[in-house]
Each structure stands twice: as structure tokens, then as C-alpha cells.
Structure 1
Amino acid sequence: MKRIISTLSAAALLLGVAATAWAHFGMVIPNKPMLAQGDKAVDLTISFSHPMEMVGMDMVKPKNFAVYVDGKPQDLLGSLTETKVMDHKAWKASYAVKKPGVYIFAVEPQPYPEPAEDNYIIHYTKTVVAAFGDEDGWDADLGLKAEIVPLTRPFGNYAGNVFQGVVKFKGKPVPNCDVEVEMYNKDGKYEAPTEYMVTQVVKTDQNGVFTYACPKAGWWGFAALNADEEKINGKEVEVGAVLWIYMHDFKTKK
């Protein structure tokens, strides 16, 4: 199943109460999507959460965490320190940026056991940070097991812009793939009118391309889900390709 029921929702079902299905999202959120002159570092927070409903889950230390610059990875796993996101265990890191470039941060988590679905979840999650005016390489394919390769520049966009990406699984585009979309409701000021609107869903076309227009400024996550042929402890494994981008409001002249 592409969307799964949280522990709280499962309990509600046992009580005969209508339950809400919440999508899981790996999250890699930098403090800034673009760095300007004078910025010396980017701070990143890594978690596993329900971003629209602001319900967190404990995340053990990731299996891999790296930054890709000019196609070359740099291992950052040792830089992670424990923190809290939505009152649950999460991770943070700071990365010093010394030159112009496009910095792609990618996380491979440990498999997450999900009792409600009787499976495991692995979300390969990334975000792209541009620094000091450079924008070359934002469409790089990192060769992750599951990955969204952007067709729209993943930074410097306005709310309402159309965003497109290619979903890849084991190196091949995935046609007719569900892509779940949620906003990071960080301040908790938004509420979905119905449970159907917590998570938006689009499908990829025959070339693995999806299209979505983000209606509000803020962080938006795209999660493309596929079932792996390999199992863990005899259980199915949901492999997600997740990408986070930021949409901006227009600024008013002072």
C-alpha cells in the first residue's frame, strides 16, 4: 500500500472511529535552500515523519549520509548528531560551504519496521542547495537505488510553479508510479479540509515523469514508492525515492 495507517489511527479503528491514512516521508531539510555571499554553512535536519500532520517517528542513525558536489560524494555520516523533530529522535548536521556550487545532500536510512503494514520502509531522501550564484549540476542522477531526478530546477522557484521530476528505481524510469506530495507544515498553521487532502497524489507518465504545482510557499516533499523484490526478515519492503524542494513567495518592495 502506498499510504499507511499510523499507530494512532490503527487504535482509532479498533474503537470504531474513522481513521486517517498518513503518508510517511523521509525528510532532509536545510535551514536555507540557497546560500548567498556571507553564508558560511548549511544546517540540515534529518527525520522520518508525517510532515503535513506534524507527527514524528523515531529515526535510528542513517546507514549513509553524503553530499554530492560535481558528481563526487563526500561521506558526512560522522557529522551527524542526535536531535528531536516533532518530539521524536532525529539527526542534524552542519556542512561548511566554501565555494560556489550545487550541493546535493542524500540520506539512506536504516530499514524502518512498520507494524501497521507488516513491512519495512526505506526512503532514499535528498535535497539540493545552491551556493553563491552557481546552478550547474542540479539535475544530476546520483545513482541511488531509488531516486527522483529533477527536470525543473529544484531551487529558486515561486509558489504556484509547476515542478517536474523523473522517478527512477534501480536505474530505470518508473512509469505509472504513485508520487505522494506533502507540505512541511512546520508551524502547524495549515489544516487539510478533508483527510483526502493531507497527501496529494499524482502518477508518472510512460517515461517516469510526474508534474505537480505547489500552491503555497514552503518546503514540499515528493515521495515515489515502489516494492522491492528483496525482502527483510521475510517481509515486503517499500522503497521510496524522496526529494524536498522549497517554494518562495514574491517579495514586496520596501
Structure 2
Amino acid sequence: MVSSLCGGLAAVIFASAPAMAHFQEIIPSADVLPDGGPVTLGLVFTHPFEGGPVMDMERPVKVGVLAGGKKTDLSAAITEKRVDGKEAWTLSYDVKEPGAAIFYVEPRPYWEPPENKMIVHYAKVVVDGFASGAGWDELVGLPVEIRPLTRPTGLWTGNLFSGVVLKSGEPVPFAEVEVEFVNDGGVAAPNDAFITQVIRTDANGTFSYAMPHQGWWGFAALVEGDKRGSAPDGREVPVEEGGLIWVKATDMGVKPPTGAEP
């Protein structure tokens, strides 16, 4: 009796505990390259604010870049780089032309036992070549994708970032969007409610969020997939599809007035 009561209580506690938000990172070494040149991207499947735990990320289905209206498959160029002992990936790319280079990844579906579903998060990030400010709102054509309404590069801390959640190219009203900060340990959350910010799109599929701290922010629009997936034991289960975009906020530097002491 005591054993079954304890087991039932544990199940209730587990079910009521907040779910840890998974984010597919694709984060570059810089969001703007004033002179073009090389950029390195890290592909990690993790919990950004908490700094982990990192989850094994199988070799992606596809990694690519959209630049100048042309997609280039970069899947063969990625190399494995273990993070906290888990499988992750890295990519180097040389930005040679002005304009947005939109990097994207289609990961393999991930089985999430506590939620009894498969997860596949299509993620992208924009790198501005030669600080041109051009092409940043082009769409890759991912099954679920965020179209930025705010240029996602060259943003100050506190700027309002806005976007539209699209599924199969159509806006998704009242979709849930999870927001997390890539925390290097310098920000302490008062409690778990602060770790993942949650907002919803409006009736037109649009959302906005003001980034309160410098660094990388991930916006993950979550929708239920049209097709069901298979759990490791062969059962049919729901598929959570996510459309992610990564955006960097930068603090304003204060320049001394002319004639003032440095």
C-alpha cells in the first residue's frame, strides 16, 4: 500500500514538474561580418539557459546555407565535435559576398520519453556579410519556419524582435513560442518560471519579444506535426515540429563626449 502510494505520488510530482525546453542550437561566431570572411557555427541540442544537459545529436539530415537566393548543401562539410561528452557538430564557412547568409539545419527526430513524442526542430540563423543589411527576411522553406519582421542582426540589448510563425508557408495563429537565453552562468533565475519565457502568436501568427540581456536568444515556435512518428518500441506517437531562429543582442558601448577624459 505504502509502495503504491509513493509510486503514485512520484508520478504526480513528475507529471507536474516543469518540462525542460529542448533547443536546437545553430550559433555562429558572429552575427555580422563587417569585412566578410570565415564564420564558425556550433550545432548542439541542449537546454541553453541552464547550460545543459546536452543531448546526443545524431548526424543531421541536412545542413545548408541560403545566400543570394541560392541554397547550398553543406551537410558534407560538418564535423563532429563532442560537447560535455555528447555528440554535436561544427561547421566553418567563408562569407565572400555582401548580404545575408542564412544557415539552417534539419536534425533527425529525437525521442522524448517524458512527453511521449518525437521532436524535430528546424533551426536557422542569419549572418550578415559585409554588414550589408540585405536579404535577412528570405525564407529557407522549412516545414515550420519563423519569418523575421525585425532584422535579426545588428540588434541592441532591449530591442524588440518580431516574427511570423509559418507552417507550410502559412501563418500559424496562437502558436506557442518558447524563448531562451544562452546563459554562460552569469544570469541566475529566481525560480524555474524564469528559465523559459513563453509567448503566443496573435491571430496573424505574429509575436514580439524584447531581449533584456546581451547574448544569443533562441525563439522556438512549436506546432504539432501533420504526420505521426514511431517511438523506439514501434508505437505511433505525436511529432512536435519546431521552427527556431537565433538572434544576438549586443550592449551599447558608451563613448566619452569629445574632450572628456578617456
Decide: shared fold, TM above 0.5: yes
In structure 2, what is the equivalent of residue 147 of structure 1? 145
- One-letter code of the match for 1:209? T
- Structure 1, unaligned runs of 5 or more: 1-12
Alpha-carbon deviation of 1:19? 4.0
- Partner residue, 2:254: 252
Matched, 1:209 2:211: no
Alpha-carbon distance in structure 1 between the residues aligned to 2:12 and 2:204? 44
Instruction: Identify which of 172, 176, 182 aligns with 1:174.
Output: 172
Give the whole-Å Cα distance in 2 for the aligned partners of 1:122 and 1:194: 28
Tell me the alpha carbon deviations over residues 192-245 of structure 1, each in whole angstroms, 9 at most, x when there is no partner. 111111000111011100010000000000000000120112111000000000
| Alignment of structure 1 residues 1-254 onto 2, 5 Å | 13=10, 19-37=17-35, 39-55=36-52, 56-185=54-183, 187-233=184-230, 234-253=236-255
Q: Distance in 2 between matches of 1:207 and 1:191?
A: 34
Q: Shift of the alpha carbon at 1:97?
A: 1.3
The separation in 2 between residues aligned to 1:86 and 1:239, in whole angstroms, is: 26
CA distance in 1: counterparts of 2:56 and 2:191, whole angstroms: 27
Displacement of 1:15 in angstroms is 11
- Is this contact kept in 2: 1:54–1:86, CA < 8 A? no
> Could you say which structure has the higher strand fraction?
1
CA contact (8 A) 1:28 1:126 kept: yes
Distance 2:97 2:166 in 1: 30
Which amino acid in structure 2 is aligned with residue 120 of structure 1?
M
CA distance in 1, matches of 2:31, 2:17: 35
Q: CA RMSD in A?
A: 1.7
Inter-partner Cα distance in structure 1 for 2:127 and 2:96? 13
- The normalised TM-score by structure 1 is 0.90
Q: Distance in 2 between matches of 1:86 and 1:103?
A: 29
Task: Return the offset for 1:133.
Answer: 2.4
- TM-score (normalizing by structure 2): 0.88
Query: Conserved in 2, the CA contact under 8 Å of 1:71 and 1:142?
Result: no
Over alpha carbons, which structure has the higher Rg? 2
Give CA-to-partner distance per residue, 1:116-151, whole Å, 9 cap, x none.
Answer: 111100000000000112121101122110100000
> Structure 1 residues 15 and 237, CA, compared in 2 at 3 Å: closer, same or farther?
closer
Alignment partners' CA distance in 1, 2:65 and 2:74:
7
Which amino acid counterpart does residue 141 of structure 2 have in structure 1? G
- Paired positions, count: 241
User: Structure 2, unaligned stretches of length 5 or more?
Assistant: 1-9, 231-235, 256-261
The sequence identity of aligned pairs, in percent, is: 45
* Rounded Cα–Cα distance in structure 2 between residues aligned with 1:174 and 1:57: 29
